[in-house]
Amino acid sequence: MGDPDRAWLELACDLARLCPPSATAFSVGAVIVGADGREIARGFSREDDPHDHAEEAALAKTSGDLAGATVYSSLEPCGHRASRPRPCAELIVASGARRVVFAWREPALFTEGRGAEILTAAGVALTEIPDLAPRAREPNTHLR
């Protein structure tokens, strides 16, 4: 089957292409996978609301504790937001997910990327697959 982390992260990167473009936010995709290797939920930025982030959209579709789950996100989960009280990194910590895999570190275009720092401080294991960053950046080429 190959590398499951890579396959799930590729799906997250593909989901980012579904995002309505925004001049003030990144297009991001996210997939939540349970400890059993099955998909729990998926989401993308601005899926149901212009302020939705991908991880937030996916987490909203889950119920209960996500202990043992992995969150795959095309972009490092945000550590600060202007549009909502809690950034995605804090939402992930609160969900019980203990692992995050991402492709692209958040550039300092809108805010300083601190998501990885928040997740690490809370004991969430991080895996970065930077060779998928170009795929994650592709739906964001309008942000220059």
Q: Give the active site residues.
A: 55
With H, G, I as helix, E, B as strand and everything else as coil, classify residue 134.
helix
Q: Are 75 and 103 in contact (CB under 8 A)?
A: yes
C-alpha–C-alpha distance, residues 105 and 94, integer Å: 21
What's the token pair of residue 122? 């809370």
Would you list the DSSP string of 51-115? T--HHHHHHTT--S--TT-EEEEEEPPPS--SSSSS-HHHHHHHHT--EEEEEEPPPTTSS---H
